[in-house]
Amino acid sequence: MSAKILLAESAGFCMGVSLALAKLDKALQEIDIRRIFTFGPIIHNPQVLAHYQGRGVQITHDWSEPSKGDIVLIRAHGIPLEIESKLNQKDIHIIDATCPKVKKAQILISKNSRNTDCLLLYGEPEHPEVKGLLSYANTTAHLFEDFEQLKDIKLTSGRHYCLAAQTTQDREQFQLMAEYLKSDLDPDLLFMDTICDATKNRQVETIEIAAQVNCMLVVGGRTSGNTRRLCKVASEYCPVCIHIETEEELSPEMIHGFSCIGLTAGASTPDDTINKVYHKLKAMLH
């Protein structure tokens, strides 16, 4: 009897990624002799980046590199305010492809942090979205990656805090952090629910599938924060969780002996990649 495969319905591109790539595709159609840049990788998927590199899209991390007449597309993760300001001062064409959910988080942080003594931000220190979010803080900010780091921050009772998160973080953990801060430190904590619904739904579905299988495959770029988070939540419910980028990494030995295998993918993983993994997996199991 062949093994069963449970494929997550939410696997693949989220709205923010789809919108960013649509803007880049449109810019490529309208391009004449101008160069086109993305400020940082537009999304965290090496196969997608290679595709656009082949179409002439350049990645820059230096605001001074683009010159007069060039097109610069702001990545889906957003960029820090000071860099955006410098780009706006240049004679270039800027296309803002920041994910609407990230943009909303930026606006909330800018608006609400000015009324508090300190912003507490749950996120990854080196992630580009987080660097952008911090630039919108109108108060002192503390960044932490997990509950333990939050508890290690020297916070003072009687001060007013606001709490926000990188849009792709673990919602359950985020809620627990809010409850901890309200009960132990600031009952009037300003809680900004900045984790997007697509992230929440994807994590919930991943947990539901992981609890039913004895092997979980998560497909997506290794630099993708939301893909890594899916691996983390899946590993809490499934004894074996494997992160792969493409079908080429999949081998019979990897899945040998499992009767039920779950398959999901990060928000920056193309449908084509997911389909290739699914069909190769299916062929291996029959």
Strand residues in 83-225 grouped as ranges (E): 93-96, 118-122, 140-144, 161-165, 190-191, 215-219
Is this model's pTM higher than 0.95 or not?
no
Which candidate, 149, 143, 95, 148, places its Cα nearest to that of 120?
A: 143
More confident residue, 242 or 30: 242
pLDDT at 37: 97
CA dist 44 and 71 (Å) reads 21
Percent of the chain with pLDDT over 90: 89
* In the predicted structure, residue 27 carries a pLDDT above the cut 90: yes
- Token digits for 163? 């709490």
> Tell me, what's the pLDDT at 31?
66
Identify the pLDDT of residue 234. 96
pLDDT-derived band at 36, boundaries 50, 70, 90:
very high
Tokens of 46: 């090496």
- 246-279 pLDDT, tens digit per residue, is 999 999 999 999 999 999 999 999 999 999 999 9
Only one residue has tokens 């792969």, namely 244
Percent of the chain residues topping a pLDDT of 70: 99
d(CA 259, CA 227): 24
Domains of the chain listed by start with CATH number: 4-12+198-285 (3.40.1010.20), 15-99 (3.40.50.11270), 101-191 (3.40.1010.20)
- 129 catalytically annotated: yes
What average pLDDT does range 5-10 have in this prediction? Answer: 96
Active-site option among 9, 30, 124, 129:
129
- Ranges 25-29, 30-34, 215-219: which has the least confidence: 30-34
Res 286 pLDDT > 80: no
Q: Note the helical H segments in 5-161.
A: 15-30, 46-54, 81-88, 100-113, 128-135, 147-152
